[in-house]
Structure 1
Amino acid sequence: MTQISTINPATEETIATYDVMTSDVAFDKIEKCHKAFLAWRTKGHADRAPYLRKIAAALRDNADSLAMLMTEETGKLLRDGHTEVELCAQIFEYTAEHGPDILADEDRKHSGGEKRGMVTYPPIGVIYSIQPWNFPVYQPVRVLASNLMAGNGVILKHASICTGSGLMLHDICLKAGLPEGLFEVVIADHDTSDVMIEHKRVRGVTMTGSDGGGRHIGQVATKNLKKSVLELGSNDAYLVLEDADIELAVKTCVQGRLYNNGETCVSAKRFVVTEAVYDAFTSAFVEQMKAVQMGDPKDDDTQLGPLSSAEQFDTISEQVSKSIEGGANVLCGGSAPDRTGHYYPATVLANCQPGTPAYDDEIFGPVAAIIKAKDDADAMRIANDSRYGLGGGIFSKDEDKALQLARDHFDTGMVRINSFGAADPNMPFGGVKDSGFGREHGGFGMKEFVNAKAIYLP
């Protein structure tokens, strides 16, 4: 029987070993989830809400153990793990509070307003959720909470390196009173995952990961006429305009690049800086990046932990090397320390060129790419010169100007003005172009996998 092991990236020690499921075992879980869905869909939205609130309370009760396991499996800072658990609890509470109204039946008129009509949002069945390792609880929760409220069942296939976190989330939900089978976890390889998408009981597929992985999963889902929601990462540009508050921009951009060890899809990755403030921003930014304290992710003083795996370390190292070969200059970092663990230092690359990873691709680690722009208009052009479009940021003392640029010109799903943040339960989350399609949070995710049904009354 094939097995996988989870490994602590800070110590390189094995945490646990798990058996990979056969397709028959995975199919049994799908059938079990479908059976639970048939009962769950009969409950009203208001009747589902208390289950979600109990899960939120259970997450807070288990925050210490869950945060610790996430740190051991992925290397994220322990305090960031606690923040993640609290965000997940808030997502469940937001969904419980607002779901019944968002998904309520809507009265409509038809035939020129002479006849009555109604639009309802019934659930569709089992939703297959394929999630990455960088936020081991948040990633599955943002799918789980909205679909439980909608009335669907959920099957989670988590990234192998955080298998334990996915299983712990499952156990917490069960102990909180969620009906057995409604949320299941599979440990499956890619081939089994593909045939799961084809299974007749699976009605929708949602995935967060690379654009390459999204293309494959999206094609399998489309071939089988299954709706999909894909969140596929980005190389978000943060614009530092000519009138930016440089002190604020530097502090915020360092935070945005290093949050979650730089392994966040919607985070600052490319820093497009206008010529007028380039020297001031770059010197201060490099100074703060050099001062970042790298170390044990469990220590309170640590600002940067290890990358999540040896594979991730090798990928980052190769991307940096190729960017340097393509003309980029290393202003700090760029070479790993000789120590146990998959540690990579805070790194700044300048003079990043089109055709290199630092300019074109997503570097999923603590590596910042600085790109000089002639002026504000050129900065906006460079920001949009990307196949991605998840998030971005603008630094300007003129908030009205920044808002106009964000609304009318920034070709992304999310824009931060003079700030950084990853997600909010009340705001839609998702992107455009190669960053995928569909939305989660802000109520939008609750309607991604429902049947918007038109009912005509006489």
Structure 2
Amino acid sequence: MILSDGITVYETSEDRPMPIATVDPTSGETVQKFEPHDPSEVQRRLARAQQAFEHLATTSFAQRAGWLRAAADLLEDDLATAADMLVTEMGKPIAQAEAEVRKCAKAMRFYAEHAEAFLADEPLAAPESVGARRASAGYRPLGVILAVMPWNYPLWQVVRFAAPALMAGNAGLLKHASNVPRAALYLDTLFERGGFPAGAFSTLLIGAGDVDAVIRDPRVRAVTLTGSEPAGRAVAATAGAVVKKTVLELGGSDPFVVMPSADVAKAAEVAVRARVQNNGQSCIAAKRFIVHTDVYDEFATVFAQRMSALVVGDPRDRATDVGPLATEGTRRDLAELVDDAVARGAEVLTGGSAPDRPGWFYQPTVLAGLTPDMRIVTEETFGPVASLYRATDREDALRIANGTDFGLSSAVWTDDAEEADWFVRHLDAGAVFVNGMTTSYPELPFGGIKNSGYGRELAAAGIREFCNLKTAWRG
């Protein structure tokens, strides 16, 4: 099985499991190795999760909200150590690591405040038409939910599942990416420290090859995965075979469209942040920049200049804009996409290579003159590499934007209200951001279409995904 966010990273190589280890991406040195949980420990944790669920199902929203707020307080108290952990394990620049920790605490408090309203029983209209005095629908927890999570947001990806799942009364099991074990073990205790019953949320230190058996265990009622398309297919196939629900977020190749009426300088400024956030390793980072021909040259010049001015370096240095990629394989795959494009005639406006230094760094890169025979046109780039396209009109821009198997999010820059509405209607994506960059908020539903997956996280939709919508008829 392949478990990653948006890039193919195999966790097995010639049937040898990938070690569970913290490897510093700034140097490539192994910091610490961890022993995987043996089968008996996995069974113990499954049993404990089921027991915790049975207890959680009897608790009130107020009780769970108190525990979740306490866990959020603990997370913020741990800000310095938690952020340093993210820097060490996947090279996230320190300011972004701190922002991730704070964002997690915010999401936890959001669900503590709103879960009860999101899951309140809903009276159904005209009950007399079905012979009832009253009819209603209510949301009830499913049970133990398995989360298979990637390394690029080691805390946020997990918390945006865990917070709503726990507030709904479910228990959670985490199979995290093998290169962020410290984050996985931190989360293993966080919610219990906040007051949740032992086992309400716990980590399984297992390899990808052990996931199938956990999905098939009758105590696991559903699965959520953020990762690569092949990983999603594998998990969905197993879950489907045993009739269990899945939510899949499988990455994207998000378009960033710029039209002539837009503030081009502002669009170019935001485009840089949209591309290199998290060192470019984000499923919702803008990756394909589609610019109307009337403003293409202006945008390309400013965009390339700003990308070339970014500081690549030590992620603990607050002057650094772009740190290393998280794994050696991630950088190798990214370099292969760039090299393939250049070999087939792409123009390098800036960057295009890895710097000569230890660690898994890659220069911020802008490519233009792309043609359909280049792999980068159809595959997701997971790193600080931007693809630049020229569009003749809005119909051409839409054609390029929708010309991908992915459909996670999108952005369009225009000061024409009718044009903005037109793009919102016609872009094939789970979200459209107008005159801004895509990001995730606890308040907004998040998820994609096409090969980007299905189901939603966050907002009311996210907490309802792992609930049984139970209809009640009263005569």
| Alpha-carbon shift at residue 28 of structure 1 (Å) | 2.0
Question: Structure 1: which 4+ aligned runs deviate by more than 3 Å?
Answer: none
The residue that corresponds to 2:12 in the other structure is none
The farther-off stretch of 294-303 and 324-333 is: 324-333
Please identify, of 447-456 and 354-363, the stretch whose mean Cα deviation from structure 2 is larger.
354-363
Q: 2:401 aligns with which of 383, 389, 405?
A: 383
Q: For residues 415 and 210 of structure 2, what CA distance do their matches in structure 1 show?
A: 52
Mapped pair 1:47 → 2:49 = no
Q: Equivalent residues in 2 for 1:116-155 (5 A)?
A: 116-155=134-173
Contact 1:131-1:156 within 8 A present in 2 as well: yes
Report which stretch shifted further, 363-372 or 27-36: 27-36
Structure 1 counterpart of 2:459, from 434, 437, 442:
442
Cα contact 2:410–2:438 (8 A) shared by 1: no
Deviations 1:230-257 (A, max 9, x none): 0000000000112221101100100100
Aligned residue pair count:
457
Cα distance in 1, alignment partners of residues 421 and 80 from structure 2: 39
Which residue of structure 1 aligns with residue 43 of structure 2?
27
Q: Does residue 164 in structure 1 map to residue 217 in structure 2?
A: no
**1:350 counterpart = 2:373:** no
Report the equivalent of 1:177: 195
Deviation per residue, 1:232-286 (Å, 9 max, x gap): 0000000011222110110010010011100000111000111111111101111
Which residue number in structure 2 is paired with residue 455 of structure 1?
472
1:278-357 paired onto structure 2 within 5 Å: 278-357=296-375
Partner of 2:439: 422
Query: Match of 2:7?
Result: none
Compute the displacement of 1:48 (Å). 1.4
| 8 Å CA contact retained: 1:34, 1:125 | yes
Give the secondary-structure state (helix, strand or coil) at the position aligned to 1:451: strand
Larger deviation: 108-117 or 125-134? 108-117
* Aligned mate of 2:103, from 60, 81, 87: 87
**In the alignment, residue 78 of structure 1 is paired with which amino acid?**
I
What is the CA–CA distance in structure 1 between the aligned matches of 2:128 and 2:400, rounded to whole Å?
A: 49
* Conserved? CA contact 1:22–1:192, under 8 Å: no
Q: Distance in 2 between matches of 1:399 and 1:366?
A: 31
The answer as to whether partners of 1:124 and 1:449 remain within 8 angstroms in 2 is yes
Residue 171 of structure 1 and its aligned partner are, at CA, apart by: 2.2
2:413 equivalent in structure 1: 395
Q: 8 Å contact 1:5–1:14 — kept in the other structure?
A: yes
Greater CA deviation, 111-120 or 288-297? 111-120
Structure 2 match to 1:7: 23
SS in 2 for 1:127: strand
Letter of the 1:273 partner, please give it. V
Normalising to structure 2: TM-score of the pair? 0.94
SS in 1 for 2:276: helix
Structure 2 counterpart SS, 1:319: helix
Alignment of 1:409 with 2:423, yes or no, is: no
Contact kept, 8 Å, 2:20 with 2:181, in 1: the verdict is: no
Gaps of 5+ in 2: 1-15
| Deviation readout 1:33-55 (Å, 9 max, x if unpaired) | 01110011111223211111111
What CA RMSD, in Å, does the superposition of the two structures yield over aligned residues? 1.4
Aligned equivalent of 2:275 = 257
Displacement of 1:399 in angstroms is 3.5
User: In structure 2, the residue corresponding to 1:299 is in which secondary structure?
Assistant: coil
Identity of aligned residues (%): 37
Instruction: Give the letter aligned to residue 435 of structure 2.
Output: N
Distance 1:40 1:170 in 2: 17
Quote the Cα distance in structure 2 between the aligned partners of 1:352 and 1:213: 28
Aligned residue for 2:54, secondary structure, equals: helix
Shift of 1:164: 0.4
> Which SS does the other structure have where 1:117 is aligned?
strand
Counterpart residue number, 1:16 = 32
2:77 corresponds, among 56, 61, 70, to 61
SS in 2 for 1:339: coil
